[in-house]
Amino acid sequence: MKTKIFKIFSLVAVITFASCGEKAKEAETTKAEEAAIAEVTAKTYTVNTTDSNIEWKGFKPTGSHTGTIAVKEGNLSINDGIIESGKFVIDMNSIVVTDIPAEEEGNGKLVGHLKNADFFNVEAHPTATFEVTGVKTTEGKTMLSGNLTIKEKTNNISFPITVTETDNNVTLISETFTIDRSKWNIEYGSKSFFDNLGDKFINDDMEIKVSLTATKA
């Protein structure tokens, strides 16, 4: 009887652990496309950089790290609540780690590592960009597509968003999604580029959530 109870408990624990480890769905990733062009009737909104950011989460066998990146500038053109075009610039020098207290040495080490040539090489590539290529509705969700450029490598990604428009402001909030960093040639600790890493690898998948607030120009 005890053995049966132990087996049931072990199975529940395994299922629970597997569920907790699930990551967000990967954004559909394809070749770069032509940027979208808005109609002349579209309203233009300027991104409010103070109220906009990108949340990120990276994974490794021993756990994960979280943080944010600031949006440097951007704009959105909207017609009847639908995004017709837009672009925003991501300030890669603004990388922040949020899961390690700022005063701890590990925080500065991780930020420095993310900024150096192993990862985003921000000295050579201080910004990344996202430029809208289209919007469509799929299974009841609004899917935003755009060219994401990191370290001069561009891929088109699509992910679900919610857009709220008022007279003078608009907010764009994405669902949490993942991108495969290896598709932007971010190689450090990646099994896509290196063999024999053992448990020293870092997952290619990175979770992303985009939050933009913009004001009518």
Q: What is the pLDDT of residues 110-165, one digit of tens each?
A: 999 999 998 999 999 999 999 999 999 999 999 999 999 999 999 999 999 999 99
Mean pLDDT score across all residues of the chain: 87
In what helix (H) or strand (E) does residue 147 lie, and over which residues does it extend?
Answer: strand 141-150
Q: Which domains does the chain have, with CATH numbers?
A: 24-216 (2.40.128.110)
> Does the pLDDT of residue 174 top 60, yes or no?
yes
Q: Are 195 and 157 in contact (CB under 8 A)?
A: no
> Does the pLDDT of residue 46 top 90, yes or no?
yes
Q: Report pLDDT for 144.
A: 98
Q: Are 182 and 204 in contact (CB under 8 A)?
A: yes
Q: How far apart are CA 98 and CA 96, in angstroms?
A: 6
In what helix (H) or strand (E) does residue 66 lie, and over which residues does it extend?
Answer: strand 63-79
